[in-house]
Amino acid sequence: MITYRLLSSADSTALFECFVAAFSDYQVDMKMSREQFELRLARDGVRLDISVGAFDESKMVGFYMNALGEWQGKPSAYDAGTGVTPAYRRQGIAEQLFARMVPRLKEIAVEQYLLEVLTGNERAIRLYRKLGFVETRRFAVFRQSEPVTALSDLSMRRVETPEWELFKSFWDGYPSWQNSIHAVDRIPNERVVVCAYVDEVLVGYGVAFKPWANLMQLAVAREHRRKGIGSRILAALQAEVSESLKVTNVDEELTATMTFFEGKGFEMVFEQLEMVKTL
């Protein structure tokens, strides 16, 4: 008999083991060490006390890992990972997990629930629509196929404290949960922030999550675009992480951004839907 309950810190090892098993046959390579797993949870803001697991006796066979924060001005929860181990699929476990966690989220005044799902995962998309989720954005995920090189006399500096109000003035859209300001601020020791200056004026910046070489944010002031500044920032971040950059969740409505990455040798490897449910 499958039982369901909220998780605690005592479940952290079982959660990692269940995560590895549940994503062993996933469409995207999700292999990671225990340390990388813990960093992922820290970046996303996961709280075990609002996450839920499914158990066959004492063995965890499914989970919803939930993060807590603010999204678009509302108290929100984020699905940082949902999985069911292969032998226990098609038994309604994911739906039961969701039903068990919603009362807990409402109890702490969460107003909406946010997630991302691969566009090719049709079974999951059907489930989420059935549960009342609606699509908000379509994301592209890029991988670097060749190093970025840039020649420029720009002044480039690594900074410790992001100037968020100025940075936000460079945006055309807004980042996904995993790349948000809150996500960057949760990992001060694992991020690198590089800024570009023209005549001592900050005109662009980039942020990378070093453990996975993930580009979290990159933006250039509108009046300074198409001058090689974005390329220079990418090259600087690439040097900081010492490996090829990965770019996750680029809003496909931002056509100039899509064209930029494609022009810099990045290849789109898959797409995701961002979906939201009002609780």
pLDDT in tens, 164-173: 999 999 999 9
Residue 152 shares a structural domain with residue 39:
no
Residue 76 shares a structural domain with residue 195:
no
Domain of 26, in residue numbers: 2-110
222 or 152, higher pLDDT:
222
* 202: amino acid identity, one letter: L
Instruction: Answer whether residue 233 is part of any domain.
Output: yes
Which pLDDT tens digit goes with each residue over 79-118? 999 999 999 999 999 999 999 999 999 999 999 999 999 9
For residue 147, what are its two tokens? 């190093």
Q: How far is CA 18 from CA 23, 83, 103, 148, in A?
A: 8, 8, 24, 37
Q: Which of 63, 86, 110 is the last residue of a domain?
A: 110
**For the ranges 37-41, 145-149, 198-202, which has the lowest average pLDDT?**
145-149
Q: What average pLDDT is seen over the chain? A: 94
Instruction: Answer whether residue 135 is part of any domain.
Output: no
Residue 149 pLDDT class (50, 70, 90 cuts): low
pTM of this prediction? 0.91
Query: How far is 262 from 226, CA to CA, in rounded Å?
Result: 14
Residue 106 shares a structural domain with residue 186:
no
Mean pLDDT to the nearest integer, 121-127: 92
Residue with tokens 């933006």: 219
Query: How far is 180 from 188, CA to CA, in rounded Å?
Result: 13
What is the reported pLDDT for 89? 94
CA 93 to chain centre: 24
Q: Which of 110, 132, 151 is the last residue of a domain?
A: 110
CATH number of the domain bearing residue 211: 3.40.630.30
Quick one: CA torsion of 156, 159, 162, 163, rounded to 10 degrees?
A: -60
Is it the case that residue 151 has pLDDT exceeding 60? no
Which pLDDT tens digit goes with each residue over 204-243? 999 999 999 999 999 999 999 998 999 999 999 999 998 8
Domain count, the chain: 2
Instruction: Answer whether residue 118 is part of any domain.
Output: no
Mean pLDDT to the nearest integer, 172-200: 96
Instruction: Answer whether residue 132 is part of any domain.
Output: no
What is the reported pLDDT for 216? 98
Query: How far is 77 from 68, CA to CA, in rounded Å?
Result: 5
Is it the case that residue 147 has pLDDT exceeding 80? no
Q: At a CB cut-off of 8 Å and minimum separation 6, what does 219 contact?
A: 167, 170, 171, 172, 204, 205, 206
